[in-house]
Structure 1
């Protein structure tokens, strides 16, 4: 009986020992498993870890009717709006420039046509050869008109009001044109050569713009240039020596181009503002005679492209 007890005790001890060993082995195995898992996670590369994350499809791969993120929608809409705004502004500016260019060229062409019509074909309608003397006693002919724009005024030194007013206005025109680098030669031609000698004309013009050149001559010379420029003038038919009188004459400024040819006649309706604008318009549109003749020979395309 004692022996049986010893055997049972020994068996129980073995069972306990086996149980302890089993638990210890299980704990060791679990510990090794956790260590191996941690090592595996540590050794994994960033690219491998990123590859496991789900990839976002690019915008081009999103199917029609698919959803986009809020940020993607806002960026696309803003870009379209900005591009549309820039395109609209560019179109407006371009259209404005083109409109201004064609309007300006159209007006310039119209001025050139008017000037050509005023010049006439063949013999000029207004202007021609003449010979006078200036207020310094020097000869002055139609050749002295070439090389610059000229503006001619016919009057007389004993004029009480109209001539002084027109010459004062001419001085204002000249100053405004000079401020724009436009030089015009101003010329005063008397219609009263019997009283207006070079000395009288010179003293008279001292009250006006210093650039004005005074011209006079014999009665026949003055009558000739008035006829050339279609200027009307008359004196009383009967005069006594020393008697004062008035001369009736046309009141126009005659604008001549750099070729010495007539461009336009400017009446009293042109004031201090509109006068310089008219002269500048003709000045800017001027084409030398040689070029005009060349364009006529070249025809339509030559007139457009020069």
Structure 2
């Protein structure tokens, strides 16, 4: 796995410590795995069309949240591909429930991921996918709210660099509270690198 897009198990354990200890039991009882976790919060960013978008604009919708960057060499595009393939499978099963789900990509590399770059990037995955960028300060704030780690891997001032970051695709509820982490890292029976079926199954489980 390229270290620019790795999953940081230790940081994830810290950020989800409040819910992980009872996650398996809670899931068996029908409670959301991330119920009570301190993930998510208000923000205002800029979408791929240059318009300001706030967290409240998505009230009443389920939200798939993915943090990454367009220059990510491998893992980010694979994750987004699985997420959107899983979403489309879910939409084929139940278009009415799928209409209540909004997939959202938020860059953690705002210096390079400008509005035109983000627009071009998200359009490669699905018309439903919204891309958000902002100032470095705005991105830092929203990343903190969503317990997302990221850090440049390169010399200061260089234009060619990678960004180390955590990768946890969150499913958030209509009230903006966290429900579950979508399983993009679970293998399929047919292909080692994909899990759109698992994503679709998780959406089917939690989207009402």
When normalised by structure 2's length, the TM-score is 0.76
Q: Distance in 2 between matches of 1:278 and 1:195?
A: 33
Deviating above 2 A after TM superposition, structure 1's stretches of 4 or more consecutive aligned residues are 236-241, 266-270
Paired residue total: 171
**Equivalence for 1:153:** 66
Contact 1:235 1:246 in 2 (8 A): yes
Contact 2:63 2:172 in 1 (8 A): yes
Shift in Å at residue 152 of structure 1?
0.7
Q: Distance in 2 between matches of 1:172 and 1:258?
A: 22
Contact 1:251 1:267 in 2 (8 A): no
**Equivalence for 1:140:** 53
**Equivalence for 1:246:** 162
Deviation per CA, 1:75-124, whole angstroms, max 9, x where unpaired?
xxxxxxxxxxxxxxxxxxxxxxxxxxxxxxxx98822x235xx232xxx6
**Equivalence for 2:203:** 279
**Equivalence for 1:261:** 177
Shift in Å at residue 238 of structure 1?
3.2
RMSD, aligned α-carbons:
1.9
Shift in Å at residue 251 of structure 1?
1.0
Contact 1:119 1:126 in 2 (8 A): no
**Equivalence for 2:29:** 110
Contact 1:146 1:258 in 2 (8 A): yes
1:260 aligns to what SS in structure 2? coil
1:126 aligns to what SS in structure 2? coil
Contact 2:82 2:184 in 1 (8 A): no
**Equivalence for 1:130:** 43
Q: Against the structure 1 CA distance between its residues 158 and 108, is the aligned structure 2 distance closer, same or farther, given a 3 Å change threshold?
A: closer
Deviation per CA, 1:143-163, whole angstroms, max 9, x where unpaired?
022111110100001011111
Q: Distance in 2 between matches of 1:154 and 1:195?
A: 15
Q: Which has the higher contact order (CA 8 A, sep 6+)?
A: 2
2:162 aligns to what SS in structure 1? coil
Q: Distance in 2 between matches of 1:218 and 1:276?
A: 33
Deviation per CA, 1:51-78, whole angstroms, max 9, x where unpaired?
xxxxxxxxxxxxxxxxxxxxxxxxxxxx
Shift in Å at residue 220 of structure 1?
0.7
Stretches of structure 2 that go unaligned for 5 or more consecutive residues are 1-25, 187-194
Structure with greater strand share of residues? 2
Structure with greater helix share of residues? 1
When normalised by structure 1's length, the TM-score is 0.53
Structure whose alpha-carbon radius of gyration is higher: 1
1:170 aligns to what SS in structure 2? helix
1:114 aligns to what SS in structure 2? coil
